[in-house]
Amino acid sequence: MILQILGFYKLVFMSELNIQFELVTPERVVLKETVLQVTIPTELGEITVLPNHIPLVAVLKPGVLEVRRADGSQEVVSVSGGFVEVLHGKIVVLADTAERATELDEARIEEARTKAEALKTSASYQEAVDFADISARLEKELARSRAIKKWKRIKNIETIS
């Protein structure tokens, strides 16, 4: 009987210390798991969502999303645009793109970033639409670069730069 009560207590109160998290793009479900906290880049600033956070909806900006699990491990993900919805005990991130740091290729990111910067400096004021697109691409590449650097710092891997 006491073991049943303790099991019920653990089920009810320990579940309050975790959050169901989903990170979804148009192509795939990137992450779907129970986590302790999630740090999310939004248009109004970076927010960290913990259990029992107030409900909210926010616009994502390109940046680094961090997930911390109960076992202490972390996941670092580069996101570019989208929305986040926080409900009681659940976080849903609908991102335009999302890539785990482990999936990123640092050389390709640097090449794409350099190309986007070159296009940005050569764009004229009459090409405002192209300029906005180029700026968005550059922001995405910078977010990817920050994600891989943060992941390497967490994993204690040496970086060049």
pLDDT tens profile 89-148: 999 999 998 988 887 666 776 776 777 677 666 665 545 556 666 667 767 777 777 777
Whole-angstrom distance, CA of residue 161 vs CA of residue 93: 31
Asked if residue 56 lies in contact with residue 73, where contact means CB atoms within 8 angstroms, the answer is no
Asked if residue 138 lies in contact with residue 120, where contact means CB atoms within 8 angstroms, the answer is yes
Which pLDDT score is estimated for 9? 47
Which pLDDT score is estimated for 161? 47
Whole-angstrom distance, CA of residue 99 vs CA of residue 111: 17
What's at 69, amino acid-wise? R
Q: Using one digit for the tens of pLDDT, what is the confidence trace for 2-33?
A: 545 545 444 444 457 899 999 999 999 999 99
In angstroms, the first-to-last Cα distance of the chain is 60
Which pLDDT score is estimated for 11? 45
Q: Using one digit for the tens of pLDDT, what is the confidence trace for 58-90?
A: 999 988 999 999 999 999 998 988 999 999 999
Look-up of token digits 């999936």: 103
Q: Per the confidence metrics, is the pTM higher than 0.75?
A: no
Query: Judging by DSSP bridges, how do beta strands 29-35 and 56-60 pair with one another?
Result: unpaired
Whole-angstrom distance, CA of residue 56 vs CA of residue 40: 12
Q: What is the mean pLDDT of residues 46-60?
A: 95
Whole-angstrom distance, CA of residue 37 vs CA of residue 47: 10
Structure tokens at 20: 């169901």
Which pLDDT score is estimated for 79? 92
Whole-angstrom distance, CA of residue 83 vs CA of residue 22: 12
